[in-house]
Homo-oligomer: A and B are copies of this chain.
Amino acid sequence: MVESNSETENRILEAAKMVFFRKGLDGARMQEIADEAGINKALLHYYFRSKDKLFEAIFAATFTQFFPKVDQLTLSNRTLKEKLSEFIDIYIQLLRDNPQLPMFVVREINRDPEAILTLMQRNLPGKNILEIFHQFAAQMQSECNLTQAEALHTLINIISMCVFPFIGRPLLKQMFFEQDNNRFDEFISQRKDIIKKTIFSTLGW
């Protein structure tokens, strides 16, 4: 997940990730990270000079993860429908494996949009994903008679329907599932098919 040399450094990165995911940069405490890693607070500063540096390491590694790796999609000569279907499968699976990822990313990006976005360009995380999206949009326009704007809305509809349930989880769980985690997980497990159905019907399929 996060490549590094020393064993301790890995423990720190893992611990920092957990705490930053839960609390965000502002809410996180170096002491909590140290406890989580089972080491001393001073060691954090030995490996990473400051809290900010440690956070940057976590964010950079995490942010790229937020975009699904769909390199295979680009080259495959499948139909648009199959590609969209595969994208939704891959993305929902990614989010199920990392349910806290979306909240972390949007929280920190909204906290400091500029700093984060320059970091985004530097790490060119979604370079691939942007190409994929562009492909999707172009194909939707030609094959489904959509305007450019409509194609973009459709893409963002997909992203919205995939991502939002993970961001709004506590709220949705309270409103619709009586705080029952099992019922919510079952709901999530149905998402792939629902999103496909919704998008496909919009596209006239």
Residues on A lying within 8 angstroms of B by beta carbon are 23-24, 26-27, 103, 105-107, 109-111, 113, 116-117, 120, 126, 130, 133, 149-150, 152-157, 159-161, 163-165, 167-172, 174-176, 179, 187, 190-191, 194-195, 197-199, 201-202, 204
Contact = CB atoms under 8 A, between A and B. Distances in A.
A152 B165 CA distance: 12
* Copies of this chain, count: 2
A66 B24 CA distance: 23
A154 B202 CA distance: 13
A139 to B, nearest CB: 16
A149 B187 contact: yes
Given A161-B157, A164-B159, A171 B111 contact: no
In this complex, the member of A126, A154, A175 whose beta carbon has the largest number of chain B beta carbons within 10 angstroms is: A175
B187 A24 contact: no
Given A170-B117, A175-B130, A198-B157, A23 B111 contact: yes
In this complex, the member of A26, A116, A191 whose beta carbon has the largest number of chain B beta carbons within 10 angstroms is: A26
A188 B22 CA distance: 30
